[in-house]
Each structure stands twice: as C-alpha cells, then as structure tokens.
Amino acid sequence: MLNITNNRINEDFPRRKYNSLVELEGRTSGRVLIKLLFVLVVIVLITIFLPWTQNIRTIGYVTTLRPEQKPQTLHSVIDGRIERWFVQEGDFVHKGDTILFISEIKDEYFDPNLLTRVEEQLQSKESSVQSYAEKVKALNSQIDALITTGKLKLKQIENKQRQAKLKVTSDSINYQASIIDFEVAKEQYARMEQLYKEGLKSLTDLEARKLKLQKAQADMVSYENKLLTSQNELINTEIEYASIEAQYKDDVAKAESDKYTALSSMYDAEATVTKLQNQYMNYSVRTGLYYIKSPTDGYITKAIQSGIGETVKAGGDIVSIMPANYDLAVEMYIKPIDLPLIEKTQKVRIQFDGWPAIVFSGWPNTSYGTYGGVIYAMDNFISDNGKFRVLVAPDKDDHPWPDALRIGGGTNNMVLLKEVPIWYELWRKVNGFPPDYYKQAPASTNTKKKSK
C-alpha cells in the first residue's frame, strides 16, 4: 500500500525561486473565460428568440411573362433557295421588315406567268358557268311554254270531247225516237193488214202503210248508225286526249332532263371555279411567302442558314430573333413537398447572376443586392424534372430590377414564408419537419350589429 501522509509541503516549498510557477499561479485567464462563456450563453439565449423568416431556396433563370416576347426562330413555310439577305446578325428590325428572299425549287411553280394563266382559266370557267345558267333559264322558259301549250291543247280536246258526248246524247235520243216510230209503224201496218183482209182497206192503203213501215225501219237503222259514229268520235277524242297528254308530259320531261343536265354541268363548272379560286389564292399567297419578314420588333441574334443558293426546307430554322420589348420574369421550380406553401402574390427575394449580394435568408430586410418579386402563376402539373414550375413577376412595391438583365440569366431565389423564432427553426431543422403551412387570412369585413 501507498504510504500517504497528512503533512503538506505547500507552505514549506520555496515558490519564489521558480518564476514560471509564480507567473502561472498569478494569471486570471480562468475568470475571463468564464465571463466570456457567460456572455456567449446570454447572446445565444437572446439570439434564439429573434424572429426568423422561413423560406424556400431554389434556383431559376430569367424569362418573360408573355410567349410572344420570348426568343423565337423564324421558319420558311415553303421549300426554297436563298437568293438574297437583307439583314445581318445584330441588326435591329421592325415588324414587317424583309429579312431574306427565297426562290422556288418545285417545278410546278416555275412558270413566271402562273398567276395570269390560272386567272385566265378561272375567267373561262366563270363564263362557262354563266352560259350554263343562261341555258337553264332558257329551258325554264321552254318548260313554262310547254306547260301553257299543253294545258290549252288539253282544254281544246276537253271541249271537243264534250261536244262528242253531246252528239252521242242527241243521236241516242234520235235513235230511241226512230225505234218508237218503227214500233208505231209496225203496229199500224199490222192493223192495216187486218183491215185489208177484212176488206175494209184497199191494197193501195196497205202498200202505203208498208212503205211507211220500211221508211221508219230505214230511219231507225240510219239513226243507229249515226249513234255508233258519234260514239266512235267520242272514243277518238278520249284517245286523242290521252295522246296529247302523254306527248305533253314527254316534252316537259325531256326539257326538264335537259335542264337538269345543264344544272349538273353548271354545278361541275362552279366546283371547278371554286377549285381554281382556291388554287389562285394559294399561288398568290405562296408568291408572298418568298419574302420572309420579321414578325415583331427585335434584334437578329443568329443566322442559322447562311450563304446564297442554300436550300431551305419547309419548317426549317432560318434565323433567330430576340424581341426588343419584353416583360421580365423569373422561372423557378418548386419541390412537390413545398407546393402547398406557395400561393399567388407571395413575396420572393431574387439574387441575379452577375449582381453580387449579401444574403441573409432568415432576414430578407437586411439582405443587400437582392430584388423583390411576387409569384405570378403556378403550373398545375409537374414538369419533366419532377418539380412544379412557378413564374415570378417584379414586385412593384420594391426597387426595379436591373435594366441590363437578359433572358436566360441564372437566379437564386428565396420564397418568403412565415416568421418564427430561431429556436423553433433550429428545432424544425433538427427534426426534418417542413416549413409551417399557412395562408394569409383576408381582412374581415364583418361588423357586429348593435343590440337594441
């Protein structure tokens, strides 16, 4: 075991002989350290209760709000060959200015008088349509004349037929009267013959009565013949009526057939006229497409096709142009987990590439070199990169964005959220919780009713 004694040598040790020991024991660094630690603890305690603005950090790039203000590429609607350039890269052009001229490369459009020839064909077909229209008008007049003539002829035959019926009636009456006369003459002859047998009448009287009987019989036969003749005439009028009616219908049908044939030819000619008009307009518009013009005011940035005599395809890129006037915006992408925290008119702080800035993400008011923005629009569908696209417009209440900004430049963005204490933000970060979900409540306009 160790032999430990209760005797101390501190008082008997000669410290003053050792300068290092005296200097070490006389220093007050421990007390200073304690004070510093105390001050740091106080500062940390005060700091963790300071307000901190939650935010979402994301990158983006400068773009425009309107689609027609974005950089665009001009194309040729038709195939052609470059004949002449009117601009060069970097030139400013107004809307409608000619950029280049191309010539035709398809053989069906080589004729320099193509429009004139198509116009002549169009005029010929229009004259043909007019001729067919006049023919149809003439056939309509002919049909009207045939209808009128046919009605008159049929009326004439109806009158003739009525006369024949009346004659049949008259002859029938005469025939019936002759029959009666014949019967009377026959009875008188029989009585005369009886009287002659009885000797009361002479043979001369009997022969005279017989002569009357024969005459009555002859009249009866004659009236019967007349009746049959008148009936035959009635039948002939009916046959003539049917014949004229059939001929009238045949003539009208033939005229209508010619009319419909003319109408069919006229419609075919009108279809050809419409086709030629369409073809003429297509050729006319195609002639105007030889000159490729600027769709807007802007700067020629790059000539994709170059040289003279180079062939361009329909829809192929020829030259790119940047519009002169545009409304700047920032396009950034938000993770799906942060999308519920985003709403329109929400504030955003933006740091543009090329503009140095001192950024305090939790204290946007103390950040230097950043610019204000507000959320203008949000996509309702996810992009190919797995995030949602958000457009940010300049904040009118903040200082304006730099004039030297160009479309396509990069940005570093902070979407400002709720203000919380620093200790809460640290606790949220440690636990991996998302920022607080909140909505700005609109100002209440409800007023309390005073009780009577």
pLDDT computed for residue 344 by the predictor:
87
Q: Is it the case that residue 376 has pLDDT exceeding 70?
A: yes
Give the range among 82-86, 208-212, 267-271, 296-300 with minimum mean pLDDT. 208-212
Which CATH number fits the domain that encloses residue 337?
2.40.30.170
4 lies in some domain: no
pLDDT band, very low/low/confident/very high, at 62 (cuts 50, 70, 90): very high
Q: Is it the case that residue 385 has pLDDT exceeding 60?
A: yes
Residues 263 and 345 in one domain: no
1 lies in some domain: no
Residues 61 and 97 in one domain: no
Residues 251 and 150 in one domain: yes
pLDDT computed for residue 93 by the predictor:
92
pLDDT band, very low/low/confident/very high, at 1 (cuts 50, 70, 90): very low
9 lies in some domain: no
pLDDT computed for residue 449 by the predictor:
42
- Quick one: which H or E segment has residue 265? helix 203-288
User: Token pair of 339, please?
Assistant: 């999308």
Decide the pairing of beta strands 298-303 and 98-103: unpaired
445 lies in some domain: no
Alpha carbons within 13 A on the beta-carbon side of 417: 19
Calpha distance 413→394 (Å, rounded): 13
Number of domains composing the chain: 4
Calpha distance 321→324 (Å, rounded): 9
Mean pLDDT of 327-333: 92
Residues 37 and 98 in one domain: no
pLDDT band, very low/low/confident/very high, at 447 (cuts 50, 70, 90): very low
Residues 185 and 313 in one domain: no
Residues 253 and 401 in one domain: no
Residues 258 and 356 in one domain: no
Q: Is it the case that residue 46 has pLDDT exceeding 50?
A: yes
Tally of CB atoms within 10 A around 444: 6
Residues 37 and 131 in one domain: no
408 lies in some domain: yes
Give the range among 59-68, 139-148, 204-213, 307-316 with minimum mean pLDDT. 204-213
pLDDT computed for residue 149 by the predictor:
86
Give the range among 52-61, 98-107, 365-374 with minimum mean pLDDT. 365-374
What tens digit of pLDDT does each residue of 284-318 get?
Answer: 888 888 899 998 999 998 888 878 888 888 888 89
pLDDT computed for residue 225 by the predictor:
87
**Can you give the C-alpha Rg of the chain in angstroms?**
61
Residues 217 and 263 in one domain: yes
pLDDT computed for residue 434 by the predictor:
66
Q: Is it the case that residue 448 has pLDDT exceeding 50?
A: no
Its domain, for residue 317, covers 71-104+290-323
pLDDT computed for residue 451 by the predictor:
41
Which CATH number fits the domain that encloses residue 307?
2.40.50.100
Closest alpha carbon to 100 in 109, 91, 113: 91
pLDDT computed for residue 394 by the predictor:
92
CB 142 within 8 A of CB 248: no
449 lies in some domain: no
Q: Is it the case that residue 171 has pLDDT exceeding 80?
A: yes
Q: Is it the case that residue 227 has pLDDT exceeding 90?
A: no
Residues 222 and 185 in one domain: yes
* Winning range, highest mean pLDDT, from 4-18, 51-65, 278-292: 278-292
Q: Is it the case that residue 23 has pLDDT exceeding 70?
A: no
Q: Whole-model pTM? A: 0.55
pLDDT computed for residue 393 by the predictor:
93
SS3 string of 346-380? CEEEEEECCCCCECCCCCHHHCECCEEEEEEEECC
Q: Is it the case that residue 330 has pLDDT exceeding 60?
A: yes
Q: Secondary structure of the chain: what % helix, strand, coil (to 5)?
A: 50, 20, 30
Alpha carbons within 13 A on the beta-carbon side of 96: 0
CB 202 within 8 A of CB 115: no
Residues 231 and 127 in one domain: yes
DSSP 280-342: HHHHHHHHHTTEEE-SSSEEEEEESS-SSS-EE-TT-EEEEEEES---EEEEEEE-GGGGGG-
Closest alpha carbon to 375 in 393, 355, 359, 388: 393
C-alpha dihedral sign at 257, 261, 264, 266: negative
* Mean pLDDT rounded to a whole number for the chain: 82
pLDDT computed for residue 216 by the predictor:
83
Q: Is it the case that residue 81 has pLDDT exceeding 80?
A: yes
End-of-domain residue from the set 240, 267, 288? 288
Q: Is it the case that residue 351 has pLDDT exceeding 80?
A: yes
Give the range among 15-19, 103-107, 291-295 with minimum mean pLDDT. 15-19
Mean pLDDT of 320-331: 90
pLDDT band, very low/low/confident/very high, at 15 (cuts 50, 70, 90): low
Which CATH number fits the domain that encloses residue 282?
1.10.287.620
452 lies in some domain: no
447 lies in some domain: no
Mean pLDDT of 63-78: 87
Residues 31 and 134 in one domain: no
Mean pLDDT of 411-438: 73
Output DSSP code: residue 65.
S
CB 69 within 8 A of CB 341: no
Question: Is residue 199 helix, strand or coil?
Answer: coil
pLDDT band, very low/low/confident/very high, at 332 (cuts 50, 70, 90): very high
Q: Which residue has the higher pLDDT, 365 or 275?
A: 275
| CB within 8 Å of 437: residues ≥ 6 apart | 340, 341
